Chains A and B, each alone.
Chain A
Amino acid sequence: DAGVTQSPTHLIKTRGQQVTLRCSPKSGHDTVSWYQQALGQGPQFIFQYYEEEERQRGNFPDRFSGHQFPNYSSELNVNALLLGDSALYLCASTRGRFDTGELFFGEGSRLTVL
């Protein structure tokens, strides 16, 4: 039973470029959430997808967008990259609209913006 898988694990971009990160949820899960984690800090909620729609969004600009596919996998897109976007991007999955259930996290995609 595969857990949450993310790709790529590491990537380097330059300012102004665009990036797409991918996530496959744990088997049986249909809800995907994305988090941004700066070094040494707690993860910050970006948004959550359920039934292919963005259900909730954190305090992130429109440069951050996402998508969920019929197979429940998800993508996070960031446009016009800034140096401050350098962080670990975590994907987490659960079953159903998130309430108090356990989130299962992937190992993350570490993005460095130069």
Chain B
Amino acid sequence: TQLLEQSPQFLSIQEGENLTVYCNSSSVFSSLQWYRQEPGEGPVLLVTVVTGGEVKKLKRLTFQFGDARKDSSLHITAAQPGDTGLYLCAGTASKLTFGTGTRLQVTL
């Protein structure tokens, strides 16, 4: 069974702060995706990283795929209340396996 552990599980920060969410596994994935889910909605894809060591930036969000393709991180710079939500990493092999999730709350 492929497991993806995310940390922290819950993060409450103030607007303007920076944060990093980690996604770790003992398994190698062909690619890794990050999703964000808001209450009452399904997850929405933010990014897909494919190559070990790859770094992708999406405005204030920076995603990195570990060299061994077993882990990933999401860094948010200058968080805003609109960043609030459940962040999910998901590893792809023959199917998509989701991580345990990180709930982020950004307050004014």
Contact = CB atoms under 8 A, between A and B. Distances in A.
A93 to B, nearest CB: 11
B104 interface: no
Interface string B27-47: 000110100000011111100
Interface residues of B, number: 27
Nearest to B43: A105
A31 B60 CA distance: 33
B97 interface: yes
B63 interface: no
A42 B99 contact: yes
B30 A100 contact: yes
B65 interface: no
Contacts, number: 60
Contacts of A92: 42, 96
A107 B44 CA distance: 10
Contacts of B101: 40-42
A98 B96 CA distance: 8
Interface of A: 4, 33, 35, 40-45, 48, 56, 58-59, 90, 92, 98-100, 102-103, 105-108
Interface of B: 1, 4, 6, 30-31, 33, 40-45, 48, 50, 86, 88, 90, 92, 94-101, 103
